């Protein structure tokens, strides 16, 4: 009888140790998820914020790499052209098909929408200054969202249109 009690006690301690190990692993996983959320792994935060710049440097876009479905996202374009000529931003490859466009600030001088792209033309406030364009949109699809943005202007640096490609991921 005493041997049976000792075996039961050892079995109980073995089970207790396994539970402690599982509990400690769960705490580590929860801490990693919390740290990931704080740095932006699941949306807003330093890990998610990105800036893509064209090869010639005339076009840059600030965006979030991770966005949330049915939430608002924000892109900021910086369009640079020499002189005071109008600059044209082409949002292509059906990028806006994944979003419900809410606002474009400043309002474009002209706007043309097609099935796979939107063409927005802006006039610089002062000659030689870049145009900063803020676009707000609501995410309407889940998964990977790829976009290609092109800057076209009369006096683009280097004379070649500037292109930037980005990828975002929409979480539920």
Would the pLDDT of 9 be above 90? no
Would the pLDDT of 7 be above 70? no
Q: Are 48 and 55 in contact (CB under 8 A)?
A: no
pLDDT-derived band at 26 (thresholds 50, 70, 90) equals confident
Examine residue 3 and state whether it is found in any structural domain, yes or no.
yes
Examine residue 44 and state whether it is found in any structural domain, yes or no.
no
Domain that holds residue 22: 1-39
Give dist(CA 68, CA 141) in Å, integer: 9
- Number of domains within the chain: 2
Asked if 91 and 132 sit in the same domain, the reply is: yes
Max distance between CA atoms of the chain, in angstroms, equals 97
Global confidence as pTM: 0.75
Task: Read off the pLDDT of residues 134-143 as tens digits, 9 standing for 90 and up.
Answer: 999 999 999 9
Examine residue 32 and state whether it is found in any structural domain, yes or no.
yes
Burial zone of 86 (CB within 10 Å; 0-12 exposed, 13-18 middle, 19+ buried): middle
């Amino acid at each position: 009888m005493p041997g049976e009690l000792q075996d039961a006690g050892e079995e109980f301690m073995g089970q207790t140790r396994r539970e402690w190990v599982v509990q400690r692993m769960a705490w580590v996983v929860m801490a990693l998820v919390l740290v990931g959320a704080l740095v932006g792994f699941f949306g807003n935060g330093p890990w998610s914020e990105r800036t893509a710049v064209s090869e010639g440097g005339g076009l840059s876009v600030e965006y979030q790499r991770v966005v949330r479905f049915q939430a608002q996202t924000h892109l900021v374009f910086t369009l640079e052209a020499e002189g005071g000529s109008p600059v044209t931003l082409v949002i292509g490859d059906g990028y806006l098909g994944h979003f419900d466009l809410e606002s474009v600030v400043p309002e474009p001088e002209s706007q043309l929408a097609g099935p796979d792209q939107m063409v927005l033309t802006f006039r610089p406030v002062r000659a030689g200054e870049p145009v900063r364009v803020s676009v707000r949109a609501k995410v309407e699809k889940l998964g990977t969202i790829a976009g290609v943005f092109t800057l076209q202007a009369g006096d683009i640096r280097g004379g070649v249109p500037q292109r930037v490609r980005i990828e975002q991921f929409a979480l539920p």
